Amino acid sequence: MTGVSCDFDVLVVGGGSAALCAAIAARRAGASVLLLEAASRPLRGGNARHSRNMRVMHQAPTPWVLGCYPAGDYLAELRRVADTADAGLSRLFVESSAGIVDWLAGNGVRFHGAADEVLPYSRKTVFFLGGGKALVNALYATVKELGVAIRYDGEVRALHLLDGPPAITLGEPEVTVRARSLVVASGGFQGDCGWLRREWGEAADYFAIRGTPHATGIPLRALLAQGATPVGAADRCHMVAVDGRAPLFDGGIVTRLDGIAHGIVVDREGRRFADEGAVVGPTRYTVWGELVARCPGGVAFSLFDAVIGERFRPSIFPAIQADSIGDLASALGIAPGVLNATVTAYNAAITGEATAGLHPPKTRLASPILIPPFGAYPVRAGVTSTCLGVRVDERARVLRRDGAAFDGVHAAGVIMAPNILGGGYLAGSAMAISAVFGRIAGREAAVHALR
């Protein structure tokens, strides 16, 4: 590093919560910092803009969350969704999550009080007051106050890690910026529709990307190309079932469909293909995202009648309605005879709150579809993030395939989350991983740069 001119002590690639936490931690440790956000200022913040809560360990009630959520419970839930997780990093993460709310609050983020009845009770998660957009704005205000340099529209075109201090090429015309340390917190590659298609085939053509279009995976691809150890799986995504009319990008949580478990779901041919009552808890969103992603044509339809439609929160888009099942089928582009047969067979098989002799069965919440008007929502898979990342150690240093760490290269957020989540997901965990490892990565990058 001696004799090489560096523009900054620490470069942070990304503009979401992980990047912001890294920039704050590095600056508070005394380093000069440049934050590169690929988006424009109005669209800054990555997927964090669409978030609302974070899952944290706590041994006793706090001002922001009631009850107790000990480390053992958190770790057990992580193991259930990610049997390939790194045990050491998982424990570090869970234990560090206990202090991250206070740290964020000290950096301007506000949280709902534990006694606030506006949101549902949870002993596991704290909720951002004002949602993810407020969190993002608060953290940007802090980085500005601390003197962090910010470049918007700062899309990275290349990383240079092997000769001297890390450097980044960005912009048009291209410019190269060099620093003593680098934190990559640029998310997954769900913004690259071509990469998704290579992994998922034509099913990817029907995905809605729930967050930012700027998560194109360029820094991730560059890290892997220069020898970083991959972790997770390129052909897995964190996804949920969303209204099929959601925008291609930035639909966020409001496009999620709530009522799938109450009615029936048919494919584009008008036939049921899964047990709608199998999962009725919070994981139902993810389960149905995966199911619909693998449907022919990547689309399905959630059907209900006037009575069932009163039992769940409606979509932000109006339901497609008709006074008969045949007319509803025509509106959906389904053969009326097939859909009529599906609904008739389902109604006839209901015994109590389940079905008998029907394949696939409906094991819970079975109610007949009889009362017009009949309604439907188109369903697509909404991708939150991809599940391919880079392996890191407890100091958030990116590891090469030989097990050694890159000199001065760290990672935080979704790009390293598969170390803990594998290909699974636990609600609120991604935001906690972003904050915890953003803080670690920023602090360690500053230590490396200033030593």
Looking up tokens 């439609």, which residue turns up? 309
Q: Between residues 401 and 280, which one has the greater pLDDT?
A: 401
Name all domains of the chain by residue range, CATH numbers in brackets.
8-201+212-236+387-450 (3.50.50.60), 258-314+324-371 (3.90.700.10)
pLDDT digits (tens, 9 = 90+) for 211-239: 999 999 999 999 999 999 999 999 999 99
- Give the predicted TM-score (pTM) of the model: 0.94
Provide mean pLDDT across the span 258-262: 94
The distance in angstroms from the start CA to the end CA of the chain is: 11
| Gap between the Cα atoms of 401 and 399, Å rounded | 7
Of residues 350, 387, 388, the one with CA closest to residue 369: 350
Please give the Cα distance from 432 to 91 (Å, whole number).
13
Query: How high is the mean pLDDT of the chain?
Result: 94
| pLDDT on residue 165 | 87
Residue 68 CA to residue 55 CA, distance in Å, equals 12
Tens digit of each residue's pLDDT (9 = 90 or more) over 410-427? 999 999 999 999 888 898
pLDDT at 5: 58
Residue 100, pLDDT > 70, answer yes
Query: pLDDT digits over 132-142, tens only?
Result: 999 999 999 99
